[in-house]
Amino acid sequence: MKKLISIITIICLLPLMGVSAQEKAEKQYLPEEGDWAIGIDVVPLLKYVGNAFNGSQENEIESLGGAPFTKNNKNFRNRMLMPDVSIMGKYMLTDEWALRANVGIMVRSEYDRRYVKDDKAALLNPLSNDKVIDKAHHSRNGMSIAVGAEYRKGSKRVQGVFGAGLLFAFQNDKTTYSWGNEMTTINQNPSIAFDRNNETMLGDNRILKNNGQGSDFYTGITGSAGVEWFIAPKISLGAEVNLSLYYLFGNQTYIESEGYNTSTQKIETRTDLVSPGNRGFYIGTESLGGSLNMTFYF
């Protein structure tokens, strides 16, 4: 009799156990307090898959990371020094609230070294084949950082995600020259390896440093609204739009050069100012992080 009662009790509890198990399985789809997350922009991957089926011979994944603040921003175009890929990350403070960050970094330091005739050796011996080295150091750097918080709404596999935060970005571009042949009162026009028409001369002066377009800084705030669809436990496809408001201020640009001063009959260096720096205020929608992204929670 007792055995029969136990069997009946278990049969009665099975539906409740099934509901509990189902709720637990559904809960596993969504991020929970203490979870970390990494996101990628999946548009490059989708393009790669599409090209694989249309017979494209030049198919490659350009960037499988996040999209930084600078990616689609018109104020960063044609600079060729800002990051194209960023790292997207989150930390769940609770089941609904999270800290989020989007960081993109680009650091380029290139040295162009070329041989040129040694003027001093050639003066002492016209048949000399001695050479010295001219150097051009190109430094191009950029960074984009957006940090903030987000709130998510929804208990099913599709959640609305709303966020706000601060953003900061900068870019810097300069070239410094190191010349093998010294400029003197005797050798006022030394041999150089770089093309004189290729931004290495300022009139009769030889350029020592050109800070190009200078350093630009961007600072502001951003808000976002989007959705996440959890296609698997703690793996989501998401899309969101950002509204960014930021201020741009640029540093002064200049060129340092050296040349022979006929008045003082000396080799002197001088600094020529090119621009006082730009200022601007902008507001507009962005796709910070990516127009379509995939996020992994763990």
| pLDDT by 10s per residue, the chain, length 298 | 444 444 444 544 445 555 444 544 455 899 999 999 999 888 766 665 656 566 555 555 566 678 787 776 666 655 556 787 888 999 999 999 999 999 998 888 999 999 999 999 999 999 999 999 999 998 888 899 999 999 999 988 999 999 999 999 988 888 999 999 999 999 999 999 987 666 788 888 999 999 877 788 889 999 999 999 999 999 999 988 888 899 988 888 899 999 999 999 999 999 999 888 888 888 887 777 777 889 999 9
Residue 261, number of CB atoms within 10 A of its CB: 13
Per-residue pLDDT, 65:
77
Q: Under a CB-based contact definition with an 8 Å cutoff, are residues 66 and 88 in contact? A: yes
In DSSP notation, 127-177 reads T---EEEEEEEEEEEEEEEEEEEEEEE-SSSEEEEEEEEEEEEEEEEEEEE
Per-residue pLDDT, 201:
86
3-state SS, residue 44: helix
Residue 85, number of CB atoms within 10 A of its CB: 18
Per-residue pLDDT, 86:
87
SS3 content of the chain, % helix, strand, coil (to 5): 15, 55, 30
pTM exceeds 0.95 for this model:
no
Residue 40, number of CB atoms within 10 A of its CB: 22
Measure the CA–CA gap between 193 and 117, rounded to whole angstroms.
Answer: 8
Measure the CA–CA gap between 235 and 31, rounded to whole angstroms.
Answer: 9
Residues 6+ apart with CB under 8 A from 241: 224, 225, 226, 285, 286, 287
Per-residue pLDDT, 32:
94
